[in-house]
Structure 1
């Protein structure tokens, strides 16, 4: 799975890019020659991320984006078209863990509303943003969509603590990835899921062994796949993940 080096003047949108893995993905894409749209809901954090990326030499610009809003996703697409005129890569990185009680989300104690809240961002959010960006992506000669998932969503591996809401959302996101890949099987649009591993971020209380840059590596790989790259798969740095 060799990476495509033809990234000159290409444009990428990373959701939830104001910190953690999302910010590392944005920085990595910038280093590969992409112009990067930093999608984030909070204006101050979004602008701080943009300024930090620019200080690192990345051609970055901010895009107001609340993945929980269809209107916001549509407005973000309009803003990207006005600012950059195109979109070549979408990384659906924005996500939440949901409420955790004593380190777990016990399915026998899980309220429907708690599950719905996690799905709203992790699954429906990716759906909203992807569909809003499709008109722009379809103009690209080599469009790529990367959905940031987790091995915790694998039906085969059963990894990590018991997080019934979060893990289930990633299982559904993987299924959605497969169906997007099927839908675009005869087009240049390549869609895959990525697992960044156990990364030191706010999500993990910065207690994990991997850096955001290490977590970003698989997303960068999938975002720059050649035209004959895999479709509808679930990958980490070591290759395909059973799920």
Structure 2
């Protein structure tokens, strides 16, 4: 196996923001202070067909070709596809085991972008099943991927969880808003307890009375932002120089928003 100087993994990267992240990593690496040799990016997605097609799209991208950043064009960067479904524990474990075996010296960066918005509908559209499915992927799946992949980062590595501006806390009661803020400062179980409280309230049709908005995607992203803060504090205590952050894109023109976003990836 050829040694790769830098290694990155991007989840949910066959289209939209995830694909744009892979593209920008490839474009910016040659001028990055991180550049120290070959750069391998794992583009992951649930569908092998769509993932492979995404890699082909990048390999034929005019800007990437003009910049000569990919190995096929004389550059340092290689993009490989790996099938990953963060809603499935075994899929996450298989990916983690693969990375650990292939890259025993560790990874440099992981970007957890994978997520769903049920049927691409508006943020407020939801019912009990939508809540269950959305939280299973966006909260629990991202949390599990974070827990499994974080130990694989080498010293000085970076993990970024792509959350959302939809996760802002301005639509919650003061009590729940303060609970989110405190949970993020406490630990992950405290954040998870809020997710379970939301699910229980929805099951009873009383989420608004409990102080939550009727919005599965928004609550899942509020939870993702909060648990990321909690894990960042945990990681800081290990003194490895690893940073864990959440970024919160706005309304972006992607398939998830049915092309309605004001910004492009």
Query: How does the TM-score come out when normalised to structure 1?
Result: 0.73
Is structure 2 residue 213 aligned with structure 1 residue 199? no
1:82-97 matches, cutoff 5 A: 82-85=101-104, 86-97=106-117
Give, in whole Å, the separation in 2 of the partners of 1:183 and 1:170: 20
* Matching residue within 44, 49, 52 for 1:44: 49
1:99-114 matches, cutoff 5 A: 99=119, 103=122, 105=124, 110-114=126-130
Is structure 2 residue 140 aligned with structure 1 residue 124? yes
8 Å contact 2:10–2:113 — kept in the other structure? Answer: yes
- Which residue of the partner structure matches residue 236 of structure 2? 185
- Which residue of the partner structure matches residue 232 of structure 1? none
Give, in whole Å, the separation in 1 of the partners of 2:158 and 2:171: 27
User: What is the CA deviation profile of residues 106-133 of structure 1, one whole-angstrom value per residue up to 9, with x for unaligned ones?
Assistant: 5xxx432220110111111111111221
8 Å contact 1:63–1:80 — kept in the other structure? Answer: no
1:161-240 matches, cutoff 5 A: 164-186=215-237, 187=239, 188-212=241-265
Structure 2 gaps, min length 5: 30-38, 65-69, 71-76, 173-212
Larger CA Rg, structure 1 vs 2 = 2
Q: For 1:197, what is the secondary structure of its paired residue?
A: coil
Is structure 2 residue 150 aligned with structure 1 residue 134? yes
8 Å contact 1:53–1:59 — kept in the other structure? Answer: no
Give, in whole Å, the separation in 1 of the partners of 2:220 and 2:135: 6
Shift of 1:135: 2.9
- Which residue of the partner structure matches residue 145 of structure 1? 159
Which of the pair is proportionally richer in helix? 2
* Matching residue within 124, 131, 136 for 1:115: 131
Give, in whole Å, the separation in 1 of the partners of 2:214 and 2:108: 34
* Matching residue within 96, 99, 102 for 1:77: 96
Structure 1 gaps, min length 5: 1-7, 213-243
Query: How does the TM-score come out when normalised to structure 2?
Result: 0.68
Q: 1:100 and 1:87, CA in 2 relative to 1: closer, same or farther beyond 3 A?
A: closer
